[in-house]
Amino acid sequence: MIEQLIPFLIASILLTLSPGPDIIYVLSQSLVGGYKKGMIIALGLVSGIIIHTSLVAFGVSLIIKNSEPLFWSIKIAGALYLLYLAYKVYSSPPQSFHQEKVTETTKNSFFSDFKTGFIMNILNPKVTIFFLAFFPGFLWDTEKDLMMQFYVLGGLFMLQAFVIFSLVAILSDQLSKQLFKTSRSYVFLKWFQIFTFIAIAILILV
């Protein structure tokens, strides 16, 4: 078991660190809203992994993979959701970003950020298809409870992803404090956030 989990953990860390929608999203939101916002979003993102792991464990991912209309419907829904978030940022005043960094995180903002991360993750069917290809190679005993093994791998993937995303959030927050100190900087951050949402929507589609 350990002989399989250690290579799985190393591979998972390398995959999480590679540029992708999730880590780019955490980075951009932490620059704008601070490390707390980034960590809450990270929690939402990794919580979505529970859904993808379940789909793989129960074999539903095979249905998604073999049904092109269903696969594309989920992808388009994910892209539209991100474009909607880009519009919300566009229609909000730049000053709100500064206020968001200096005010205490409220229960409503916690739920909103968590929900955004969660929805963004589950509406990316590529994650499920990737897990379908990635997880089976690290199962340690194909004659025992496979479902339990899938959930162990999923839990380990969630843990390392949350640690890495949290570190990205903290470093991004420190970077923003050094680089973005004027109102003009927050205008830049607003458009950076809009561009990020649009870029991630494109990444999901292509």
How far is the CA of 163 from the CAs of 24, 125, 146, 152, 169, in angstroms?
A: 15, 23, 26, 17, 10
Measure CA 105 to chain center.
20
One-character DSSP codes across 142-204: TTS-HHHHHHHHHHHHHHHHHHHHHHHHHHHHHHHHHH--SHHHHHHHHHHHHHHHHHHHHHH
- pLDDT tens digits in sequence order for the chain, 206 residues long: 777 788 889 988 988 887 778 888 898 888 888 889 999 999 999 999 999 999 888 887 777 777 888 778 877 887 888 788 888 878 876 554 444 544 445 666 888 899 999 998 888 877 888 888 788 878 888 677 788 888 999 999 999 999 999 999 999 888 877 776 555 666 777 777 788 778 878 877 77
pTM: 0.77
